[in-house]
Chains A and B, each alone.
Chain A
């Protein structure tokens, strides 16, 4: 057993438990977005940052992934923590301004309106959908692609994917309602060839008259 102190309360936990698990055991609330009990910690959203008072020069660490240490003193609600969370939620609010969950979290932290231009997006890149598809379903139909401001959730090569089994687990786990199945499968009606893992529209060939060919190739063939 390990003894640590969270917000002045002494907590005893088994070795290997994270700060978040210890805090929950004690009933101390820590906000999370990218955390899910059925998935491995990801530490992407930075909402669960807590202050390690007596370690690492008082650095902030993600509670969902940081393992408890003997004698560790943690503050979950210090000014330093609140300042960090306010910044995080302000940026999230700018990128997903219309999401009720984000609005509610921002309100809790006293952030009214972001100082930055807002985007109509809903995705906060928490990666829950990607990890659920991987760890719960085992299908790997989507992944986080690109880096920095270009980063987004997408099927491979941004092409509608046939790997998706349309189970809707990503839709269910998404905290902001950013995903629909059509985003991944690109579902459309008849006249679709499911060619090599991705669907595309097909038309009659203008050259030979009888073949059924992908519409993208049509222009090339005619040329």
Chain B
């Protein structure tokens, strides 16, 4: 946005950065960057004094967004977001320590040029960014427990005793599940009694869950009565949490996969439901409120089942008591004016957040459930008409960042005209490194922390997931003069957004084919699996790629 006033703060890091990089030069040069309204050098941006300086400068200079050029975002961004008087989304860290100073110690001039590019990239990216709208919703106070065996009864009692209304669904005509008559007599019978007469528990026997609609926080569960006495009759409940306690999977259990589908949970080969588990930062997804316990989850005896049921009930209780559920992910949204209703985005969504909605006198419209979206960006790449966008790492932001990474070749930093080390004159190669923040970029940061050098010709772009590696971005990079594009993704099976890396692999393969067919050397484009805690591997792969591109 043109009215954005951007403040840039360059960190000396008490000498850790300024002993390698010429931060005074960075300050002077960066002040000339388009969009930078204010630039200042600080000894430690992250210290209480540094934070205070930035905090005072913001109103004085009327700054509404801040770039801190310093260390890696993974360690520092949360601290800055919590401390600075600017919306967290409008703070960007340009990594000039782990990404520049610590990996190119013996090439200070080129490292400074790279740092300036990193700053320019962050400035370009942040200048176009809008702060996210907070996404939150109410949680209905009731819980649905599916299964009236030991697990279900224990979970229902735990919740009911805590004061939460519970609906307990049992397919059979009696509670107790797989318990034997002897077990029913000793002790567990008391529990059946308790459940049946508990004022907070509504027991629905001979019933099955026929439909679950609604969204996180407020599921609408429909129960159908299947008994012979009273046929038909569907009842609906608004519930905030669902506990699956259906017992061990049996070969003759036709309802199981239906239930998995209804709840949008995964069922493994043996028929168990593994825990609904996100490998994402806690604030970056919405707690779904679906819990699995007992033998439905893994082979468990009565004792373990009870422990699991209580644990699941307490997780559900925490969710219900919070009353609100929020999603901090950069949720993608659909522009209804652009959507052509092709439904290409529905299947690729790893979290089943996208559905097609019919429109009157128009094509169907894709709708993204803002509670289920984790912001991986897969749909943004998939959409053929670019009707889907994200507030962070939007196409405009990434394209601007790519341009900034490559622009300086003929602008501010003249290092690329420097005669290369082997004596031959000419331009240095330019390598763009896209890294998934969980693997490629993580390994790059770790290489920095370990002071492992890699080619200084690289410019790093951090993305949320390899699913966001967009062929259009890659083409734009090549068009703008990148000599090679390196993509670092999680190894198969390791993707934090389920299968973003598989999508990336398919896209890169297709793109390579297209490039080759059009007379462009596909070796300039490489996708590598990167292990996040093996920086040596990253350095090896990036170095060999740079070497190869330099020879082409």
Contacts and interface: CB of A to CB of B under 8 A. Distances in A.
A113 interface: no
A37 interface: yes
B49 A38 contact: no
Contacts, number: 107
Given A38-B78, A168-B438, A196-B308, A25 B49 contact: yes
A139 B275 contact: no
B299 A171 contact: no
A31 interface: no
A181 B449 CA distance: 16
A165 interface: yes
A194 B276 CA distance: 11
Contacts of B14: 24, 27
A129 to B, nearest CB: 12
A98 interface: no
Interface residues of B, number: 43
A193 B272 contact: yes
Contacts of B297: 195-196
B75 A36 contact: yes
B375 to A, nearest CB: 15
B105 to A, nearest CB: 15
B297 to A, nearest CB: 6
A37 B46 contact: yes
A137 B533 contact: no
B185 interface: no
Interface stretch (B254-262, B280-288, B338-346, B412-420): B280-288
A138 B282 contact: yes
Nearest to B70: A37
A38 B533 contact: no
Contacts of B248: 211
How many chain A residues sit at the interface, stated as a range, is 35 or more
B298 A168 contact: no
Interface in B7-29: 14
A219 interface: no
Nearest to A211: B299
A134 to B, nearest CB: 11
A24 B44 contact: yes
B279 A166 contact: yes
Nearest to B14: A24
A9 interface: no
A14 B270 CA distance: 63
Interface in B396-425: none
Interface string B467-484: 000000000000000000
B101 to A, nearest CB: 16
A195 B268 CA distance: 12
A17 interface: yes
A21 B438 CA distance: 32
A148 to B, nearest CB: 29
B442 interface: yes
Interface string B424-459: 000000000000001000100110011000000000
Contacts of A27: 14
B161 to A, nearest CB: 22
B173 interface: no
Nearest to B277: A162
Interface string B127-155: 00000000000000000000000000000
Contact of A171 (B278, B279, B446): B446
B117 to A, nearest CB: 23
B76 interface: yes
B532 interface: yes
Interface in A8-46: 14, 16-17, 21, 24-25, 27, 36-38
Interface in B498-514: none
A30 B543 CA distance: 36
A145 interface: no
A162 B279 CA distance: 9
Contacts of A17: 48-49
Given A138-B283, A166-B438, A214-B298, A177 B75 contact: no
A139 B438 contact: no
A208 B114 CA distance: 64
A217 interface: yes
B74 interface: yes
B47 interface: yes
B191 interface: no
Given A17-B49, A214-B299, A172 B43 contact: no
A127 to B, nearest CB: 15
Interface in B281-328: 281-283, 297-300, 304, 308, 311
A38 B299 contact: no
A167 B75 contact: no
A168 B74 CA distance: 9
Contact of B533 (A168, A194, A195): A168
B282 A139 contact: yes
Contacts of A217: 299
A132 interface: yes
A219 B399 CA distance: 59
A173 B532 CA distance: 13
Contacts of B299: 211-214, 217
B442 A168 contact: yes
A169 to B, nearest CB: 6
Interface in B61-117: 72, 74-76, 78-79
B275 A21 contact: no
B274 interface: yes
A181 B533 contact: yes
A197 B532 contact: no
A136 interface: yes
A180 interface: yes
Given A169-B75, A194-B277, A196-B275, 11 more contacts: A37-B79, A38-B78, A139-B282, A166-B496, A167-B442, A172-B72, A172-B449, A193-B272, A194-B275, A211-B248, A212-B299
Interface of B: 14, 43-44, 46-49, 52, 72, 74-76, 78-79, 248, 270, 272, 274-275, 277-283, 297-300, 304, 308, 311, 438, 442, 445-446, 449-450, 494, 496, 532-533
11 contacts: A21-B49, A37-B47, A166-B438, A167-B74, A167-B438, A169-B74, A172-B449, A193-B272, A195-B300, A211-B299, A214-B299
The 8 lowest CB-CB distance pairs between A and B, nearest first, are A195-B298, A38-B79, A37-B46, A168-B532, A165-B279, A212-B270, A171-B533, A168-B442
